[in-house]
Structure 1
């Protein structure tokens, strides 16, 4: 993807090991001012280690951390213009909302008048004015999350680090707070560095997603790029649902790459990986991109299949289908021929299928 300018943070050649376990391998990354960047990956992939190194809670074995042009690799957290929001919020339980927000400002030595003005500003901004005299145990999960954000934003950091801050919320509240958090980020125009293992959360909130796997960056791009043009099998399988088609590369015909899948020629966007004719390749096509119909569709790619099962999912139907004995999943908005063994056609466009690497 195109690199954004004016990076607020640069991670340059960072490695980190814990004993014999290598947590990060030669990481290089830039985060732009006002950008919402999400680190996504399974447990142990290195995403939280990266966040802690940015915040000054861990020191890299090699490499540098540059914040606003300054090398802060050896600086402690209190000397970096970043703040952190933890999964459990880490609010002081004996302090009111007002005192929690004021804590960082008092450490900076601000006057009482300046502190009160900043608290009032953030309370109005985050809708906390009615809760300033309540302790954390008197607040809901969503309210505690906003207090944690207010405390982190109070000293006006250049970047906010968020370590799975929505993990403790129930599903309904989590969805609501995702939207709220993204709106707060846009209105403050702060760089947010967000860590999660939740794919839907990352797709919903991010300007950019960095997918991590075993201490390395697997792919870095917009949510749309990662979802529809995964660079590897890992990314294709980790983000959402997909069908992985094991095929043979036939070559480039006109402006399309052509593969052979179970005797069916399929046209894809040119992949650029330099496959030789006859090479084994893998293609990814998302279930919702496959149209299911009784008659042959007019799409570039059309394949005959038979229905194995049809499962009602509320807003749509999940169809499990077989193409020459190989299982494929697709979604339909209304019932198709639901009889087991019924013949149907599957169709999708060239832009819906992506050749991926190993």
Structure 2
């Protein structure tokens, strides 16, 4: 296995009595698009600033291609950063903004001109070279900020919520464009956001942070469908949380009791103690509604008590046990015509769709 491009080795950072990061360990491979996701104050921006050399850790090491760069200032690291407001120089043209970092590296005029042309052509900015930032759209400014950061050929590009200022439609377009640029350049991107949908859309890998620690690290699919903790299950997307009692295990499966129903799932974060109350997560789109009992590991009977039209799909509110408040919510095709009423329905889902949470 190849050595990581970046290694964070037991990074700890405190601000007064507040611990922003606690012994953070993380490896990032060449060419990965890694997103740090979490609420405000979880440590994601502190990690980005430590990677860039803008903050010093209290303890631990930052390794870049095996070299210890922990105490090096930003200008001596082969790392560049794209800020949320892009931080373009308003008095400089697009070409001058792109040249700025190249001039700092001491490149000659001919070499700078060649690199300007190359990066502007690559990012389709050739028609805007003589314009100033105020004369550009939000998406164009974002591309200029990327061009300026990529021009010196950094080993690692840090992106601090760079899409936050864009409207929803443009944001979606720029997300696709940014991921395309990352794939074409094979650069390593370290992206910080609090937007779950943005992280799921763009990332090769998501690191969910909570209170200065890694809550879970994995692919978008792993974190969405197989959350290890309640925090991850609730923070990423919408889910059903089923609280019951652990009955034991059967091979790789965890067996639990939920309102008298025996259910089977898997425990990505480790199997809790037998007899203890446990909680499992089942995503809404994993539930199916049927007229007869389905041939799945988990099946319960209920009735539809509410529905919400969401365009291509319908959200159904399902009552399983009125006396004890057992409810489920499911996404189904909007064309199913499922009606609200007393008629019973069967709700089923696969064993692999239920993640038993560690806490």
**Same-fold status (TM-score > 0.5):** yes
**d(CA) in 2 for partners of 1:167 and 1:150?**
18
Q: Deviations over 1:54-112 (max 9, x none)?
A: 00001111111111111111111000000000000000011100000000001111111
CA distance in 2, matches of 1:207, 1:165: 18
CA drift at 1:348: 0.6
Residue 46 (structure 1) aligned with residue 43 (structure 2) = yes
Do structure 1's residue 117 and structure 2's residue 114 form an aligned pair?
yes
Which region of structure 1 is more displaced relative to structure 2, 6-15 or 80-89?
A: 6-15
Shift of 1:296: 1.8
- Equivalenced residues, count: 355
Alignment of 1:130-145 (within 5 A): 130-145=127-142
Distance in 1 separating the partners of 2:292 and 2:140:
53
Given that 2:61 and 2:70 are in contact with CA atoms closer than 8 Å, whether structure 1 keeps it comes out as yes
C-alpha distance after superposition, 1:241-285 (max 9, x if no partner)? 111100111122355322111111112236673434322111110
1:270/1:29 Cα in 2 relative to 1: closer, same or farther (>3 Å)?
Answer: closer
Measure, in 1, the Cα distance between the counterparts of 2:299 and 2:72: 59
Distance 1:314 1:247, change over 3 A: same
**Secondary structure of the residue that 1:94 maps to in structure 2?**
coil
Q: Show the counterpart of 2:355.
A: 354
Work out whether residues 293 and 336 of structure 1, in 8 Å CA contact, stay in contact via their aligned partners in 2. no
Matched-pair contact (CA < 8 Å) for 2:90–2:134: yes
Aligned to 2:55: 58
Gaps of 5+ in 1: none
SS at match of 1:98: helix
Query: Which stretch shows the higher mean deviation, 118-127 or 266-275?
Result: 266-275
Measure how far apart 1:13 and its partner are.
Answer: 1.1
> Structure 2-normalised TM-score?
0.96
Q: Return the alpha-carbon distance in structure 2 between the equivalents of residues 41 and 256 of structure 1.
A: 30
Q: 1:314 aligns with which of 311, 314, 320?
A: 311
The one of 70, 81, 84 aligned to 2:81:
84
| Aligned mates of 2:353, 2:337 — CA distance in 1 | 21
* Aligned partner (choices 124, 127, 132) of residue 124 of structure 2: 127
Distance 1:216 1:115 in 2: 42
* 1:335 CA drift (Å): 3.7
Q: Given that residues 252 and 270 in structure 1 are in contact (C-alpha distance below 8 angstroms), is that contact kept between their aligned partners in structure 2?
A: no
Q: 1:270 to 1:214 in 2, by over 3 A?
A: closer
Counterpart in the other structure of 2:338? 337
Work out which of the residue numbers 5, 14, 17 in structure 2 matches 1:17: 14
TM-score (norm 1): 0.96
- Cα-Cα RMSD: 1.4
List per-residue Cα deviations over 1:150-209 (Å, max 9, x = no partner).
000010000000000011111111111111111111111111000000111111111110
- The aligned counterpart of 2:255 is 258
Q: Which SS does the other structure have where 2:173 is aligned? A: helix
SS of the aligned residue for 1:66 comes to strand
Find the residue that maps to 2:302 and give its secondary structure.
Answer: strand
Residue 288 of structure 2 is matched in structure 1 by 291
Counterpart in the other structure of 2:165: 168
Within the candidate set 195, 198, 206, 1:209 is matched to: 206
